[in-house]
């Protein structure tokens, strides 16, 4: 349906808020982070990135709410990793490029080929398709 990219994100008062040059994985390892807890798929992507790059993240706070992360980052000096779409919705959040970049992930809709489809499921697929087409523009 669509690809979602993840970015390191900081608040306006963070020293890296105006940085244009990509941050190395080693420098990323030195950032104090607020992250979703390990029950979230996003966290698994972050942990896999760290493992692949042989770094240990400095997790200062773990939470179970993206809105809590947004507020903590917006008001403080901690960084986080969020989907780009969320970061774009908040003007006081600033993405920081990483080198190598965080992984992208693909959202898909799985359906059995010959399964019966209710009118509601067909309508859902239609709405989802229209939304993702608008997302790509």
Interatomic CA distance for residues 104 and 42, integer angstroms: 10
- The confidence band for 90, taking pLDDT boundaries of 50, 70 and 90, is very high
pTM (two decimals) = 0.79
Classified by CATH at the fold level, domain 2-107 comes out as: D-Maltodextrin-Binding Protein; domain 2 (3.40.190)
Task: State residue 135's pLDDT score.
Answer: 59
The pLDDT tens digits of the residues spanning 51-77 come to: 999 999 999 999 999 999 999 999 999
- The confidence band for 108, taking pLDDT boundaries of 50, 70 and 90, is confident
Residue with tokens 């087409």: 133
């Amino acid at each position: 349906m669509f690809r979602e990219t993840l970015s390191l994100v900081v608040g306006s008062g963070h020293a890296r808020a105006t940085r244009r040059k990509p941050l190395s994985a080693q420098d990323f390892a030195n950032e104090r982070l607020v992250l979703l807890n390990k029950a979230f798929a996003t966290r698994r992507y972050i942990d896999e990135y760290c493992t692949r790059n042989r770094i240990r993240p400095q997790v200062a706070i773990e939470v179970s709410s993206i809105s809590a992360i947004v507020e903590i980052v917006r008001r403080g000096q901690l960084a986080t990793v969020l989907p780009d779409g969320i970061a774009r919705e908040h003007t006081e959040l600033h993405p920081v490029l990483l080198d190598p970049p965080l992984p992208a992930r693909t959202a898909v809709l799985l359906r059995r080929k010959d399964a019966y489809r209710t009118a509601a499921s067909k309508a859902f697929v239609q709405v989802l398709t229209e939304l993702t087409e608008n997302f790509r523009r």
